[in-house]
Amino acid sequence: MNTSLTHVTLNDCFIRDLAKLLRRIPNIQKLDITCVHDYNPIDDSLFDGLANVLPHLIELKLRVFYVPFKEVKYFLRQLPKLIKLTFSSLLIETDSNGSNWERIINGYLPNLKKFSLFINDEAANINLDELIASFNSLFWQQWPVMIEYYLTTVDSKHLMLYTLPIKKDTLHTFLYGLQLQTNINTYDSNTDRSCYKKIDKLDFIFHETSLSRNLSPKRIYSNLKRLSFSFVSIDPRTYETDNILMDLSQMFSTSELAQIEEIFLYDRIYPTNFVSNLLKLFPNINYLKLSASSLDLSITFSSIDSLTIIVDSSTEYNSTNILRQIASHFPDISMLRFELTNNNDIYILISYCFRKLAYLTLMTVAINESSSPVDR
């Protein structure tokens, strides 16, 4: 390996292999890495002496997938020169509380100036009162913390914990039932504007418990441009979608609705007219992603010039009908992408689109089926 490397980005590295890798690049200054857990426990001896090998590492972006917090701690305490740390995880543990983070930073990271923490656990089972209390020391006034949680079941929560201002550009959220806790003494709309200005996409998640219509607190996202909608129930038609549309229009101001440019709809089935009525809320959409089964729309969307259609093999569809719907409802698109799970109708799609869509300049077809190559 080239020992002169100073900036490294790496995905999917086992935590146990991290020390071996870093010993081969002693001049590294900035590291952006995703570590995964291989389920074989490790001890801190793997990282012994690493601090002496990395005299120049000052910036670290570390994402971990189900790596135990104690193994993260083994690594971090070998980085005394670190100035900037960005950490994200899909797992909240009792050990990964504010008190333990405070001990790590005070004890092993004396030069740290910038710290960003983001944890998104979709099935957290942890004492919330104890977790919140662990971030209430004077130490955490320099890095304020927000805790959001949604009760998915009696014993489980979707929990997000992050420092402010948030450094991510995408955030999961819930229209109903979201509860907030923070260690900020004064929280108001000005806090939203300063702390969430980087967020440009919200991913709305709807559980069956969303039927309570306990509307989540409003928040100001000054640069919000994109929205996605996912329904956890197998059949989204079980939801009161008229109420959802009404409450969405109340959650956002007219100006906020007008600044939305992109909509992502991932589910295969929606109630009649839901997609059409949803899109009416956002007058300036220019990009839409949705399933072919959701193309039965009631109006024309002339503002949309970029379209992605998901053609899932689990959905019955007629290629000709899909193409007619596209030409009818999106006459002005210039960019079109198909995401297919088989290539049976690829030639029909291509020939029809270039004949019927007058403004089409770019067409992309992605086939997610390795066993069925397209004839050349």
How do the domains of the chain map onto residue ranges? 1-163, 168-285, 288-376
User: Predicted confidence band at 138 (pLDDT cuts at 50, 70, 90)?
Assistant: very high
Mean pLDDT over residues 150-176, rounded?
A: 88
The larger pLDDT score, comparing residue 237 to residue 7, is at 7
20-29, 75-84, 228-237, 294-303: which range is least confident on average?
A: 228-237
166-180, 251-265, 316-330: which range is least confident on average?
A: 316-330
41 vs 62: CA distance, rounded Å: 19
**Cα atoms in the 13 Å half-sphere on the side-chain side of 155:** 0
What is the model's pLDDT at position 371? Answer: 44
User: Predicted confidence band at 375 (pLDDT cuts at 50, 70, 90)?
Assistant: very low
Q: What does the pLDDT look like over 91-125, one tens digit per residue? A: 888 778 999 999 999 999 999 999 999 999 988 88
What is the model's pLDDT at position 112? Answer: 97
What is the model's pLDDT at position 271? Answer: 77
What is the model's pLDDT at position 157? Answer: 84
The larger pLDDT score, comparing residue 243 to residue 84, is at 84
What are the structure tokens assigned to 351, written together? 């020939």
Asked if the bond preceding 373 is cis, omega within 30° of 0, the reply is no
Q: What does the pLDDT look like over 32-57, one tens digit per residue? A: 999 998 878 888 888 999 999 999 99
Q: Choose which CATH entry (2.40.30, 1.20.1530, 3.40.50, 3.80.10) describes domain 1-163.
A: 3.80.10
Return the sign of the alpha-carbon dihedral for residues 308, 314, 320, 321.
negative
- Residue 247: what are its φ and ψ, rounded to 5°? -75, -30
Q: What percent of the chain has pLDDT over 90?
A: 52
Q: What mean pLDDT value characterizes the chain? A: 87
What is the model's pLDDT at position 245? Answer: 92
What is the model's pLDDT at position 80? Answer: 95
What is the model's pLDDT at position 30? Answer: 97
Mean pLDDT over residues 195-217, rounded?
A: 82
User: Predicted confidence band at 361 (pLDDT cuts at 50, 70, 90)?
Assistant: very high
Q: What does the pLDDT look like over 209-258, one tens digit per residue? A: 555 678 888 888 889 999 999 888 767 667 788 888 999 999 998 999 99
What are the structure tokens assigned to 218, written together? 């409003």
- Contacts with 376 (C-beta within 8 Å, 6 or more apart), sequence order: none
Mean pLDDT over residues 254-266, rounded?
A: 94
What is the model's pLDDT at position 269? Answer: 77
Taking alpha carbons only, the member of 211, 217, 212 closest to residue 179 is 217
Mean pLDDT over residues 271-300, rounded?
A: 90
